[in-house]
Amino acid sequence: MSVALTLEKFDYRKLNGRQKESYNFQKISGILADYGFTTIRLSDDWNGADFIAQHADGKTVLRVQLKARLHVHKKYMGKDLCLSFPAGGGWYLGLHDEIVGCLLESTGIGKTESWCEAGGYGYRTPPKQVLRILERFLLK
């Protein structure tokens, strides 16, 4: 006896935080596979990393902080972490400190209360000019 399988897309906004993190991990893992990486999700943040990406070359290993949106924080500085986040219909991946450097150099986030006092800065939806600044980190 055969049962028909019916799949329906769901609304990401209806997911809870944990479900969104799982969804985002699956999305970025699929994209990174096209670049020769396999991923391992960590059950607990390890020195700021949410997952590890290992390249098929047997040498390259990335420790990645996964965000649901563009958000940088001083607590991740100097840890050789990559930052990955979705924005503008694509996914971005780069060294956290390089992304911070680009933002500090090209935007006013370094003068905000959020950055100066709380130590972080995030965009709910990054403006187009910010995405242009970070274009070199866009996975294509």
Write out pLDDT tens, residues 60-76. Answer: 999 999 999 999 999 99
How many structural domains comprise the chain?
A: 1
Which amino acid is located at 19 in the chain?
Q
Mean pLDDT of the 26-45 span: 95
What is the pTM for the complete model shown? Answer: 0.92
- Which DSSP letter does residue 36 get? T
The CATH number that applies at residue 59 is: 3.40.1350
What token pair was written down for 51? 């997952």
SS3 92: strand
Residue 4 lies in a domain: no
Q: Which domain holds residue 80?
A: 15-137
The residues facing 54 across adjacent strands are 38, 61
Element (H, E) at 27: helix 17-33
Residue 8 lies in a domain: no
Residue 73 lies in a domain: yes
Residues 139, 36: Cα–Cα separation, whole Å: 13
Judge whether residue 97 has pLDDT over 90.
Answer: yes
